[in-house]
Amino acid sequence: MSQSATAIAEIATKLRLAKSALPVLRLVAVASTLAAVSVSAQAPIDVRVALIIGNSAYATSPLVNPANDAQAMADVLKRLGFNVIELRDGTRAQMSAAISKASDSLKGKQGVGMLYYAGHGLQLDWRNYMVPVDANLKNAADVTQQTIDLSSVVDVFKVAGNRMNIVVLDACRDNPFGGNTSSGKGLAQLDAPPSTFLAYATAPGNVAEDGDEKSGNGLYTQYLLQELKRPTAKIEDVFKRVRLNVRKQSQGRQIPWESTSLEDDFFFNDGARYTIKPEDLERMAASALAKVNEKDRAAEAARLQEVQRLAALARPADTRLGKEQLRELAFKEEKAAWDFIKTSNNPEDFYTFLQRFPSGGDLSEAAQYRLDQLAKPKVIASLGKGQDASLGYMGPRFKVGDMFQFQVSDVLTNVPGEKLSFNVTSADGDLVQLNNGGLIYTVLGATLKNERGTFATPFGGLPAEFQVGKKWTGRTTQKANDGQTYELQQESKIKGREVVTVPAGTFQTYMVETVIYVQGGSTLNIRSWHDPRYGYAIKREEMGRFGSRIYRSERRELIALKADRS
């Protein structure tokens, strides 16, 4: 048996022996590791270089934790296979020298470059700057002369030819140098450059908590250190969990922010390096859950019978689970967990669900939406350069009385077809009905019923929050109007922002690329352009293929809109 197959079997055995009275998400925490095992085994071995800078000893407004943060981060990353270049309390000259050293270490190796910076930072004219300890800033001119432009580090990574760059900024504290040295609070929102993951300790335009001496680390870095040790977690999952922990601990006053342009998966911890013991993971999961009474335990046991049966399949004697079987198991577990908490009014349930399923599909986005309702965020990310206020809209996307009218045409020939009209006739709770129940969606636009059939679970919705680089997935069973059933899987990603002009007007939008895999071998490729204020895409293009045959070529463009978002 292969090493990966042995690991799967061992995990499955533990799950099979688990007591049925354990909380549902505790079982899921163990079983969901199955999908990560085979994926992480295929992760490439990279040259990893991390530049770690922590500045605390400022003459003006010294900080408590950045130097400690840098030392702790360096220790962890060394154990995760990084060659670490560490600088604490750096002057501008020392920071420039450290950047050059990182460049030399990476040049020509197509490796992974990482910058972690903790200390004072500020924005000026849509550029972000790291502040050395010897800076004496009186005006805007001093900023460009005495600080380090973040883009200079990104440029160094680019010139080195890295296959992947990771930039983490715990630098969103209050600016102590006066209002004339910056363009606004915190850091400016920027889209991640190509092949880069960009992370801020809090949302752009906001400030983060430095923490206190007792904690030893800033709030953000405290949780980042914890999550970096978690084995076989994708980089996106690491930072999503950090965001949830920071949001919960700060009661919504600080919510980290990320932008990514990565195309490949990356694991800080492949499971063979610095790991948290499995029993510690179970303990962490259990401590995060609210106590359940005996009645709840009995209900959980009944719900988990199917989950346990599926988990037992992960113990083959001489074969390994296929990729599709792992996906099916993970989806069943996510669905069982969601069914258990979806009507809850306790934010803790949704925090815990999202910790277990940070990169799920429509169910995880629904959990994020419910969490935002129950524990409203106290910060909002400022918009980026040239962004219209519509891109930051966070209200309902469907309202009773909304009307959307579309012109259908052929993508390949541009030949116009029919016109379609959709009217929102009901918006009750988490469900929205259009055309008097002819179509049924969730509040995030995931489909339960459309003109082609019905869906066993909501499918094809949009994220709770639009952000360039965001990825999500979906899975469901569709029952078509002719009685046929189809298993569908979806992979979506926000590729960027685009200004789109259609007959109904000109809109600033997020462009989403989606691939739907249909049981039997056909695929449906979709490009859609979304204004966050509306549940329908402003423009949508679908191209369906089965082998070399094109079975669908359809474009929909908004030609009339009635929707009050004032």
List Cβ neighbours of 190 (8 Å cut-off, separation of 6 or more). 126, 128, 198, 204, 259, 384
State pLDDT tens for residues 364-387: 999 999 999 999 999 888 888 889
DSSP 370-416: HHHHHS--S--PPP-TT--GGGG--S-S--TT-EEEEEEE-TTT--E
CA–CA gap between residue 504 and residue 441 (Å, rounded): 23
CA–CA gap between residue 242 and residue 219 (Å, rounded): 10
Q: Which two tokens stand for residue 332?
A: 């069943």
CA–CA gap between residue 525 and residue 541 (Å, rounded): 8
Angstrom distances, CA of residue 292 to CA of 130, 245, 300, 546: 47, 22, 10, 49
- Reported as type and span, the H/E element at residue 17 is helix 3-17
CA–CA gap between residue 144 and residue 152 (Å, rounded): 12
Tokens 């206020």 correspond to 389
Angstrom distances, CA of residue 179 to CA of 127, 157, 182, 187, 437: 16, 31, 6, 14, 54
What are 49's strand-pairing partners? 83, 113
Beta strands 196-200; 257-260: pairing state: antiparallel
* C-beta neighbour count of 412 within 10 angstroms: 11
Beta strands 196-200; 164-170: pairing state: parallel
Q: Residues 509, 377: contact at Cβ < 8 Å?
A: no
CA–CA gap between residue 221 and residue 65 (Å, rounded): 9
**Given CA atoms 229, 235, 237, 243 in this order, what sign does their dihedral have?**
positive
* C-beta neighbour count of 144 within 10 angstroms: 12
Q: Residue ranges of the chain with pLDDT lower than 50?
A: 1-43, 281, 285, 288-292, 306-320
Domains in the chain, ordered, with CATH? 3-41+283-341 (no CATH), 48-260 (3.40.50.1460), 389-562 (2.40.360)
CA–CA gap between residue 267 and residue 359 (Å, rounded): 14
Q: What is the largest CA-CA distance in the chain?
A: 74
Query: What are the two backbone dihedrals, phi and then psi, of residue 441, each rounded to the nearest 5 degrees?
Result: -125, 165
Task: With 0.75 as the threshold, say if the pTM is over it.
Answer: yes
For residue 219, give the amino acid letter.
Answer: L
Query: What are the two backbone dihedrals, phi and then psi, of residue 42, each rounded to the nearest 5 degrees?
Result: -100, 0
pLDDT of residue 106: 92
List Cβ neighbours of 275 (8 Å cut-off, separation of 6 or more). 229, 231, 269
* C-beta neighbour count of 409 within 10 angstroms: 18
Q: Residues 254, 186: contact at Cβ < 8 Å?
A: no
